[in-house]
Amino acid sequence: MNHLPAIQVIIPLLCAPLCLLLRWRTGAWLIATIATWATFGVSLVLARTVVLNGAITYAMGGWPAPWGISYHVDTLSAFLVLIVSGVGALTLAFAYKSVQREIRPESLRAFYALLLICLAGLLGIVLTGDAFNIYVFLEISSLSAYALIGMGQRRRALRAAFQYLIMGTIGATFILIGIGLLYSLTGTLNIQDLAARVEMIPASTYGNHTLITAFAFLTVGLSLKLALFPLHLWLPNAYTYAPSVVTIFLAATATKVAVYMLLRFSFCILGQRFVFEQLTLGNILLLPSLAAILVASLVAIFQYDIKRMLAYSSIAQIGYMTLGISLNSHAGLSAGILHMFNHALMKGALFMAMGAVAYRTGSVYLSDFRGLGRRMPWTMAAFVLGGMSLMGVPLTAGFISKWILLQATLEAGWWPVTAIILLGSLLAVIYIWRVVETAYFNPRHEIEHGTEEAPLSMLLPMWVLVGANVYFGIDTSIPLQMAQRAATILMSGGTL
């Protein structure tokens, strides 16, 4: 039982090579599915243990930190692990039929192995308590993501993957520089140890310049990874041209883990006082967040490729998360963290609906949505409900996080920001309504595809996510409490 943190990452990590060893293609899917569901199960137990008993520390190799690498699991980590592994499990269930249309059969085993490795990488980032270990697992998840995106059908997928590779590696190298500078000041790599030693550095003498530079490089590197405007250029192409399963998985998890890294480095290592008061991270994040919300939502309205529209919508939603962080208040932070959870549910459901549409019609263009409301009723209903969550309609999960965010901005007295949040929701209404109108209120498409509803194996995971959207919109106590607890831990420096 006390090996849980290690098992959480080891299961997907070691099942990946197993996927490659079997000659039988369905076997790879089977191993991957069992692995992801086992991982999800472990994450539930882990989260429960952490919430009830407090943070868990696990020393890899038996060597105590800071000489060895140790995993440190607190409520924030447990929350994210739930999100990532839950999405992973549902994505694998969805994947069975979806990949048949989109991935070459001989690449299937490598595909599932890469998916498992990406999952393991993301989990590793969230669970570890060692800064350099974060870098290694960041590269694990990034490298597999580049390859997964490149396996999309159109040749633009290759271009998108290459662009992401270049920008992602620059970001990762910036993060490496930041970690190196922090190390040069303190001599340690363990996050809690770093926090203690950074506090001891007197502000006036030795090391303050280095600390500011480390912070600058970490922030820029992480902003590249979490696609904060204007460093978001890789995201639209990557999400649009990747295979549907890959888009579902990455959209719901990868950027959230990058936000997690930002939170860890800012609050736990550098310290809230230093980061927000001295270096005004709040102000640095504010403008890009607002720009993301407005500009990305506006651009989304003009997209005819619906996957691309949802990608721009994701950039806007990330703006909401960073806006919550920039408020530097407990409420704002809780809102940002809760939105990570809700966005995963929303976008997961929406992109799954897109995957189903692509599976049946072979296209994701707006014009091909005509009449889909009749021919694929369940899929479009899922899209509508997911869209409502995106807009922030009451009784959906999206409403809760927007509501808490609004409360936080009103509390801080930032009226223009409140107006912008509401404007963002309005813009979301416009771009979702375009799709709904085409699907339900247009006459039948000239060429009758004879399209039928998506297969059950795709509908079930989709509706689990939609159901979760509605459930957590009505009774949001569990995620909200976890988010609030996580915010408390962060604001106290991560020592709880």
Partner 1 sequence: MNIGAHYNYWVAIFLMMTGFYVVITHGNLIKKLIGLNLFTTSVFILYISLAKVRGGTAPIIAPGIEVYSNPLPHVLILTAIVVGVATTAVGLALALLIYDRYGTLEEEEIRLKDDSL
Partner 2 sequence: MELIIDITLLTFLGLTALAINRIDKLFCVIMLSGIYSLLCASLFVTMDAVDVAFTEAAVGTGIATVLLLSTIGATETEQRSAPRRPLFALLVVCATGAILVYGTMDMPAFGDPNAPIHQHVAPRYVQQSQQEVGSDNIVTSILSSYRGFDTLGETVVIFTAGLSVVGLIGFRGMQKFGDRQRAAGITRDEMEQHLVLRIVIKMFIPLILLFALYVQFHGDFGPGGGFQAGVIFASGFIFYTLMFGLDAAMRVVSPRTLSYIAALGVLLYGGVGIATMLMGGNYLDYDVLRHDPLHGQHLGIFLIELGVGTTVFSVMVLIFFAFSSRKGLRQ
- List of residues contacting partner 2 (CB under 8 A): 3, 6, 10, 13-14, 16-18, 20-21, 58-63, 66-69, 104, 106-107, 110-111, 113-114, 117, 120, 124, 130, 132-133, 136-137, 139-140, 143-144, 146-147, 150-151, 177, 181, 183-189, 197, 206-210, 212-214, 216-217
Q: Which of 6, 7, 60, 162 binds partner 1 (CB under 8 A)?
A: 162
Q: Which of 4, 122, 165, 406 binds partner 1 (CB under 8 A)?
A: 165
Contact between 170 and partner 1 by CB under 8 A: the answer reads yes
Q: Tokens representing 238?
A: 């990557």
Q: What is d(CA 466, CA 76) in angstroms, rounded to the nearest whole number?
A: 24
Task: Indicate whether 139 belongs to the interface with partner 1 (CB under 8 A).
Answer: yes
Q: Does 184 bind partner 1 (CB under 8 A)?
A: yes
Residue 162 contact partner, candidates partner 2, partner 1, none, CB within 5 to 8 A by sort of partner: partner 1
Residue window 185-204: x/- pattern of binding to partner 1, with contact defined by CB under 8 A: ----x---------------
> What is the rounded distance in angstroms from the CA atom of residue 393 to the CA atom of residue 482?
23
- Name the nearest CA neighbour of 244 among 89, 98, 107, 349: 98
DSSP 377-414: HHHHHHHHHHHHHHHT-TTSHHHHHHHHHHHHHHHHT-
- The set of long-range contacts for 488-492, using a CB threshold of 8 Å and a minimum separation of 24, is 488/330, 489/74, 489/75, 489/76, 490/76, 490/263, 490/267, 490/268, 490/272, 490/333, 491/267, 491/272, 491/330, 491/333
Quick one: what does residue 165 bind among partner 1, partner 2, none, with the CB cut-off 5 to 8 Å set by partner type? Answer: partner 1
**Should residue 365 be labelled a site residue for partner 1 when binding is judged by CB under 8 A?**
no
From the list partner 2, partner 1, none, partner contacted by residue 59 (C-beta under 5 to 8 A by kind)? partner 2
Rounded CA-CA distance 86/39 in Å is 8
* Residue 73 dihedral angles phi and psi, to the nearest 5°: -110, 110
Among partner 2, partner 1, none, partner that 110 touches (CB below 5 to 8 angstroms by kind): partner 2
Question: Residue 203, exposed/middle/buried by CB under 10 A (0-12, 13-18, 19+)?
Answer: exposed
Residue 37 makes CB contacts below 8 A (sequence gap 6+) with: 89, 92
Burial group, residue 171, by CB count within 10 angstroms (0-12, 13-18, 19+): buried
Q: What is the DSSP letter of 277?
A: I
* Nearest residue (CB) to partner 1, 43 versus 144: 144
CB 71, min distance to partner 1, A = 18
147 binds partner 1 (CB under 8 A): yes
Q: Which is nearer to partner 1, 49 or 163 (CB)?
A: 163
Q: Taking the complex as a whole, how short is the minimal distance between the CB of residue 411 and partner 2, in angstroms? A: 34
| Residue number, 105 or 416, with CB nearest to partner 2 | 105
Cβ pair 206, 197 in contact under 8 A:
no
Residue 58 phi/psi, 5-degree rounding, is -135, 120
Instruction: Give 183 or 365: the residue with its C-beta nearer to partner 1.
Output: 183
Partnered with residue 72 across adjacent β-strands are: 57
Q: Does 412 bind partner 1 (CB under 8 A)?
A: no
- Which residues are near partner 1 by CB under 8 A? 132, 135-136, 139, 143, 146-147, 150, 155-156, 158-159, 161-162, 165-166, 169-170, 173, 176-177, 180, 183-184, 189
